[in-house]
Amino acid sequence: MKGRLALVEAKAKEDLVMAEEKKKEELAQLVQIFTNRETTLDQEISSLRQTEKEIKKRLYDKGQEYTDLESKVLPLRTRGVELEQEVEAAKAKIAKLEERATNREVHLDRVEA
């Protein structure tokens, strides 16, 4: 009986060792899976950070381009306003000249009559 009991105990210990080894292997596989996933996530984060940097640079460049264009447009707008004022002044001058010409014709007609 002792021999049989020793055999059962040995088998139980062997099964326990095998179960522990299997758990260790499963745990090692899980660690590897999580490590791979962590590496993948790190790569994705790095890629997203690079994309963010590129987008920020493009945004900055567009802002600079806008500023440059605005600095060119502003003087043109000012000149446009000045030209409109000159046109209005010229129209007023023409209207006065036309009025004077009409008045002269009226006076000449009176003098001739």
pLDDT in tens, the chain (113 residues): 677 878 888 888 898 999 999 999 999 999 999 999 999 999 999 999 999 999 999 999 999 999 999 999 999 999 999 999 999 999 999 999 999 989 888 887 777 76
Which is it for the CA torsion 86, 92, 95, 101, positive or negative? negative
User: Please, what's the b/e burial string for 79-103 (b: 16 or more CB within 10 A of its CB; e: otherwise)?
Assistant: eeeeeeeeeeeeeeeeeeeeeeeee
pLDDT of residue 49: 98
Torsion of CA 70, 71, 77, 83, to 10 degrees: -160
From residue 22, give the alpha-carbon distance in Å to each of 18, 30, 82. Answer: 6, 12, 89
The pLDDT, as a whole number, for residue 32 is 97
Query: What one-character DSSP code corresponds to residue 113?
Result: -
